[in-house]
Amino acid sequence: MIFFLKAAALLAGGNKYLAHVVIKGVKGDFEPIVLWYQDVYANINHLMSLLVKEESPEAVTNVLQVLKPGLMSKEEEVAQAAIKLYLKLAIDLLSLDLMAPATEWFFCENGGLFACLVCIKRHPETVENITTMMVQFGASNMFDLFTAEIEKHLTDPLEYLNHVKLILRPLTDSEYSKEEVNTLN
């Protein structure tokens, strides 16, 4: 019962306290946050069954939004754990035909794409995994992703070019993005 009360307290107030803890750590300690992301990953099948049972696009976007602060964490290990979780979520959501609300969340204002760009800025060494995540969540909109969506978040042309430059190498290594580029010809 105490666990549920603590969970409710963390999620109260629009998830702000949880976001604060995930981004800044528990008194500077990030180990509990990493363990939390690992626990969610270990129980992803149960989470997916709950999402299917709920039959609500909002449930999908709520879960994705609650987990988003990990991408913006000041600790790279937390960011990597969050990325790993999102990569698995994308695969599972696609297999359950729940990717539409996930893609909508990804492209919404302050959604997943915004968090990915923050993650690249804070932890440039995550760019390969973040690019994979961007491809998975933005797969149906790759052209828009790079021609309009990233630019919405990075209005400074130099910052936009720097991010695209970082993303370009892992993107060219992706088989999916190569196929997507070929369909544009």
pLDDT tens per residue, range 1-50: 344 334 444 554 556 778 888 888 888 899 999 999 999 999 999 999 99
Distances (CA, A) of 161 to 51, 107, 157: 37, 19, 6
Q: What are the beta bridge partners of residue 26?
A: 29
What would the mean pLDDT of 109-129 be, rounded to a whole number? 94
- Predicted TM-score (pTM) of this structure: 0.84
pLDDT value, residue 8? 45
Cα 182 to Cα 40: distance, rounded to the nearest angstrom: 37
129: pLDDT confidence band, cut at 50, 70 and 90? very high
